[in-house]
Structure 1
Amino acid sequence: MIIEEVWRNYPVVVFSDLIRGDPPASREVKAMIESFKLYPDPAIFEVDQRTDEPVLRPLLQRLTGVEHTPLVIVGGSPIRTMQELRSMNDTGRLKEVIEAAGAKINGRKVKKGRKH
């Protein structure tokens, strides 16, 4: 029950790095996911900025089999490589998987500026 609730609230989860690992790839992933304007918003964790990094990295590796960041998990399933993520994005498969996980593409409300 808890697991289902977590995936319902956060169907897309991104683990990335700001400094370590591959920051350009992390920025690319976050920009790609951000471009979908998802609702609910994706959960994004900057692994190298967390105090529990020494525990979190091995845990992610053990649970997903992925040894690096960025790591994108959609509906509980990891997308294992940047090549796979780019290919899924290019073919439209990424949008399909995200929607199947329960996120709405272009579902986020955009705040409008105040009228004077």
Structure 2
Amino acid sequence: MAAAYPASTRTTSLRHRATSSVSLPLAVIAGLHPKRNRNRTLLLTLLAIVSLSVFFVCSRYPIPMSPAYLRWPLDSEPPAEDQLVLPVQPHPPETAPKKQKHYQKLAGGRPSITLTPEQELAAVSSFLASLPQNVIPLSVDPSLPIDPELVLDFDTRSPRAAEEVERVVEDVWSRNPVLLYGKLYSPPTREIKSILASLNLRPPPFTMDVDMRDDKEVLEPILFRLTAMPELPILLINGQPVGGLERIREMHASGELHALIKKAGAVIGGGRRRKHGK
């Protein structure tokens, strides 16, 4: 007859079997992946070190997250609003001092070249005559000297900028010794065009109908300022205005206009087609 075991002994035996059945697989898994346990331990250690470091830095150098009057100590009265020292705000781009825009135009400490009225007239005329699509921006103030960078195709801050400007002056008046700024439907403009056409010039006179251009609002006052002429048409010979219609009529009748045009480099009668001999 089998001996009877107490109830407590049977309970302990069952608990030991359950524990053995759970711990045995864990031991086997731990034995199969020893590197995973080491990596996990290392990661936990690094996280602990980082957490301690962040706590130390934050406690040593607190970061203000609220206005000064909210951070004021609780055991004292907060300061009045007019006693707070607020940080100075920088100028926004649209209200920046004008000097800042001036210094932005400096390159290597060298400012942009300044044009005389004669040079400005030559630069504007060269710019307009070189390409039909060239226009003066409507944002330009015609009462002030124009920015050289708008009408010149070279670096206006270079050491040779003055020499380049002189080259532009020579080139534009040698290519266009006779230049007429006028209006398309203006009787004085038509009469001057007729006088010039009768001379058969070579190179032919360059004529521009200012009233038909998109930039007429700024171009007209620029021409008036640079030539001291009160109205269109404006006839330029070698870059110099020769006067109004009455003066041009007198010069044409006396031959003075012919002499002035020849001196500028244009050939009178050079544009006429000549018939060859036998």
Equivalent of residue 11 in structure 1, options 177, 195, 199: 177
The answer on 1:108 being equivalent to 2:271 is yes
Q: Distance in 1 between matches of 2:205 and 2:194?
A: 12
Unaligned 5+ segments in structure 1 are none
Aligned equivalents of 1:95, 1:78: Cα separation in 2? 15
Task: Find out whether 1:56 has 2:222 as its counterpart.
Answer: no
Match of 1:98 in 2: 261
Higher percent of residues as helix:
2
Report 1:79-94 matches (<5 A): 79-94=242-257
In the alignment, does 2:188 pair up with 1:25? yes
TM-score (norm 1): 0.89
- In 2, the alpha carbon distance for the partners of 1:33 and 1:95 equals 10
CA offsets 1:48-69 (integer angstroms, 9 cap, x no match)? 0011101110110011000211
How many residues align structurally?
109
What whole-Å deviation, never above 9, does each CA across 1:71-107 have from its counterpart, x for those lacking one? 1000011012111100000000000000000000001
- Where 1:62 maps in the other structure, the secondary structure is helix
TM-score of the pair, normalised by structure 2: 0.38
In 1, distance between residues paired with 2:243 and 2:255? 17
Structure 2 letter corresponding to 1:3: V
Letter paired with 2:234 = L
Helix, strand or coil at the partner of 1:35: helix
Decide which of 167, 173, 197 is 1:34's aligned counterpart. Answer: 197
Which structure would you say has the larger RCO, counting Cα contacts within 8 Å and 6 or more residues apart? 1
CA distance in 2, matches of 1:18, 1:111: 30
Shift in Å, 1:38 = 0.5
Which residue does 1:68 correspond to in 2?
A: 231
Tell me by how many angstroms 1:110 deviates: 2.6
When you count strand as a share of all residues, which structure comes out higher?
1
| In 2, Cα distance between equivalents of 1:109 and 1:36 | 9
Counterpart of 2:199 in 1: which secondary structure?
A: coil
Q: Percent identity?
A: 36
Moved over 4 A (4+): none
